[in-house]
Chains A and B, each alone.
Chain A
Amino acid sequence: MFGRKKLFLLAFLALQGCTSLPLRGTGDLGVVIERATGSVQVLDTTHHSSLGQISGLGDLSHASVNYSRDERYAYVFGRDGGLTKLDLLQNALVKRVMQSGNSIGGAISQDGRLIAVANYVPGGVKIFNAATLDLVADIPAIGANGKPSKVVGLVDAPAQRFVFSLYDAGEIWVADVRDPAKPVVTKYPNIGKEPYDGVITADGRYYIAGLFGEDGLALLDMWNLSAGVKRILPHYGKGEEKLPVFKMPHLEGWAATGNELLVPAVGRFEVLVIDQNSWKESGRIAVHGQPVFVVARPDNRQVWVNFATPYNDTVQVIDVPSRKIIKTLKPGKGVLHIEFTPRGEQVWISVRDENRIDIYDSETFEKVGEVKADNPSGIFFTPRAHRTGM
């Protein structure tokens, strides 16, 4: 009898344990990467607070994050090839696999069942079961020249596809993973020299790769794949002095403002405006330094820009309709990333050297809060779960 009582007590305590965390959703959560310590903090955007730190994630230089479609799990892609699954509700590391020697980022499939990782060493894409992190498929990136290539700019696309670029080979590949174990890969060679990043428009229609090795951008219309890759902005930079680039610009978060795309120039202290109908340059906006991230507020009215060293203490705000800089902020040295709250009323900015995330009101530009973090870099909020290419 005593044994049974004890059992009941244990069961009761166990249940208590399960329910001791308050019930909550995850739509106002996110993570910030603390790259020097290989940890992340779980962030609460409603209360401007950290819900805790999760460590043991390895080398998080250039780390990026995707979310499960229920916004509960974060998949963190580390530089050392580590793929880590985190549970935001439990503040816990669920599983970690070392899937390559050196990786650059990942994507989650349209149906949320697959995680794809872009690798530098060995170059290629590996595809994992999102629930278990078991390997499902391996796509080595061997270019038409027969040589292995680093993979960059990996995104998901509608119809259960992944799209990515081969840096060394200068190719774009589209992998159809409707049968996950047997990806069907369509290859587009000769897209230009050294694609260094790629982005897909929010509607999933246009995949665009930035080219480092030559002028212009490579564009693939996912609604018209048979048309192949075409070059846009072919004359950009022609005849001008090539400028050194102290940090590669990122294409993620590119501002699509309806008819226009705002993109970082490479090397120049400019943000370029591209007319999305003609795919021609329709303007340039002079900015404070070499732009790294050019991020649109969710309503596309504003675009916030940060810069490469030695100008990385500054953030500028562009008013899209007038194309004017309407605010210049100086949060501190090492501004590495900009992330808007789901509907854009606030923006979170990581300030590496200040060990801080600053929170600004995006209308008044007043600082409304801060969260301490150790050398913070990327900030990723859960609404990315429902955005193509994020």
Chain B
Amino acid sequence: MSLLGLSAKNVTTRETGAAITASVSAALRKLGYVGFVLSLGVFFSISGAAFGAGTYLSSVRQTELIKLVRNDCGSCHGIRLTGGLGLPLTPQALKGKPAKSLVTTILFGRPGTPMPPWNTFMTEAEAAWIVENLLQGFPDVR
């Protein structure tokens, strides 16, 4: 099951309430009742992680991901994510970019550029968590 569609829909829209309604009704139409219940569960677990409530990603894993972003993404994008050989990843720099495409970029890289795919290092949900936090201003390691 793809977690990507729902989480992306959820984080791209500025009006979170509207996004929830839209994604829930879209899911309902597409999937029917069973699909809806399933997707609802996925939705809430993702949104918990995405909004930093820690219900989906353990704090240990969150710390690992923060370190990965600061250190490994940071080798091109800067430890402060203000850019380097890679583009800046600050909230201002990412403003207006669809979260879904950012998640895709993290997982599958950008062919033709140095940006590699990171899908062997993390799940879709974890990439969505990273994107959500990048858009809000990424936390520090400590």
Bits for B71-93, please: 1 = Cβ < 8 Å to A, else 0.
11011101110111100000000
Q: Nearest chain B CB to A343's CB is how many angstroms away?
A: 31
Q: Which of B79, B85, B109 is A35 in contact with, Cβ under 8 Å?
A: B79
Interface check A171, CB cutoff 8 A: no
**Contact call B83/A121, Cβ cutoff below 8 A:** yes
Interfacial chain B residues near A60, Cβ < 8 Å: 79
Interface check B31, CB cutoff 8 A: no
**Contact call A59/B82, Cβ cutoff below 8 A:** yes
Q: 4 closest Cβ contacts across the A-B interface?
A: A244-B116, A61-B79, A61-B78, A309-B72
Q: Nearest chain A CB to B46's CB is how many angstroms away?
A: 25
Interface check A246, CB cutoff 8 A: yes
**Contact call A59/B78, Cβ cutoff below 8 A:** yes
**Contact call A196/B80, Cβ cutoff below 8 A:** no
Interfacial chain B residues near A245, Cβ < 8 Å: 114, 116
**Contact call B80/A79, Cβ cutoff below 8 A:** yes
The docked-state distance in angstroms from the alpha carbon of A121 to that of B79 is: 16
**Contact call B85/A167, Cβ cutoff below 8 A:** yes
**Contact call B114/A248, Cβ cutoff below 8 A:** yes
Instruction: Considering the complex, give the chain A residue whose CB is closest to the CB of B86.
Output: A248
**Contact call A247/B85, Cβ cutoff below 8 A:** no
Report, as a range, how many residues of chain B touch the other chain. Answer: 20 to 34
Interface check B141, CB cutoff 8 A: yes
Interface check B117, CB cutoff 8 A: yes
Q: Nearest chain A CB to B38's CB is how many angstroms away?
A: 32
**Contact call A61/B80, Cβ cutoff below 8 A:** yes
Instruction: Considering the complex, give the chain A residue whose CB is closest to the CB of B88.
Output: A102
The docked-state distance in angstroms from the alpha carbon of A150 to that of B85 is: 8
Q: Which of B71, B84, B109 is A102 in contact with, Cβ under 8 Å?
A: B84
Bits for B100-142, please: 1 = Cβ < 8 Å to A, else 0.
0000000001000010110001000000000000000000010
Instruction: Considering the complex, give the chain B residue whose CB is closest to the CB of A103.
Output: B84
**Contact call A120/B75, Cβ cutoff below 8 A:** no
The docked-state distance in angstroms from the alpha carbon of A167 to that of B83 is: 15
16 new A-B pairs (CB below 8 Å) besides A59-B79, A62-B78, A80-B82?
Answer: A59-B82, A60-B79, A61-B80, A61-B84, A79-B78, A79-B82, A120-B83, A167-B85, A196-B114, A244-B116, A246-B72, A248-B76, A248-B114, A309-B68, A309-B71, A309-B121
Interface centre among B75, B82, B109 (most CB of A within 10 A): B75
Write the residues of chain B forming the contact surface with A, with a CB cutoff of 8 angstroms.
68, 70-72, 74-76, 78-80, 82-85, 109, 114, 116-117, 121, 141
Instruction: Considering the complex, give the chain B residue whose CB is closest to the CB of A247.
Output: B75
Q: Which of B72, B78, B121 is A247 in contact with, Cβ under 8 Å?
A: B72
**Contact call A62/B82, Cβ cutoff below 8 A:** no
Interfacial chain A residues near B109, Cβ < 8 Å: 244
Interface check A334, CB cutoff 8 A: yes
Q: Which of A104, A212, A244, A352 is B84 in contact with, Cβ under 8 Å?
A: A104
**Contact call A310/B80, Cβ cutoff below 8 A:** no
Secondary structure type dominating chain B contacts? loop
A:1-58 near B, CB below 8 Å: 35-36
The docked-state distance in angstroms from the alpha carbon of A62 to that of B83 is: 11
Interfacial chain A residues near B84, Cβ < 8 Å: 61-62, 79, 102, 104, 120
Interfacial chain A residues near B75, Cβ < 8 Å: 61-62, 247-248
In the complex, 23 of the A-B residue pairs with CB atoms within 8 angstroms, ordered by the A residue number, are: A35-B79, A36-B70, A59-B79, A59-B82, A61-B75, A62-B78, A62-B84, A79-B78, A79-B79, A80-B82, A102-B83, A150-B85, A196-B114, A244-B116, A244-B117, A245-B114, A246-B116, A247-B72, A247-B75, A248-B114, A309-B121, A334-B71, A352-B71
Instruction: Considering the complex, give the chain A residue whose CB is closest to the CB of B120.
Output: A310
The docked-state distance in angstroms from the alpha carbon of A310 to that of B72 is: 9
Q: A62-B84, A167-B85, A310-B121 are in contact. Are A36 and B141 (CB under 8 A)?
A: yes
Q: A102-B82, A120-B83 are in contact. Are A212 and B114 (CB under 8 A)?
A: yes
**Contact call B85/A59, Cβ cutoff below 8 A:** no
Interfacial chain B residues near A352, Cβ < 8 Å: 71
Q: Nearest chain B CB to A76's CB is how many angstroms away?
A: 15
**Contact call A120/B72, Cβ cutoff below 8 A:** no
Q: Nearest chain A CB to B80's CB is how many angstroms away?
A: 5
Q: Which of B71, B85, B116 is A196 in contact with, Cβ under 8 Å?
A: B85
Instruction: Considering the complex, give the chain B residue whose CB is closest to the CB of A196.
Output: B85
Q: Which of A59, A150, A309, A334 is B80 in contact with, Cβ under 8 Å?
A: A59
Interfacial chain B residues near A35, Cβ < 8 Å: 79
Interfacial chain B residues near A152, Cβ < 8 Å: 85
Interfacial chain B residues near A120, Cβ < 8 Å: 83-85
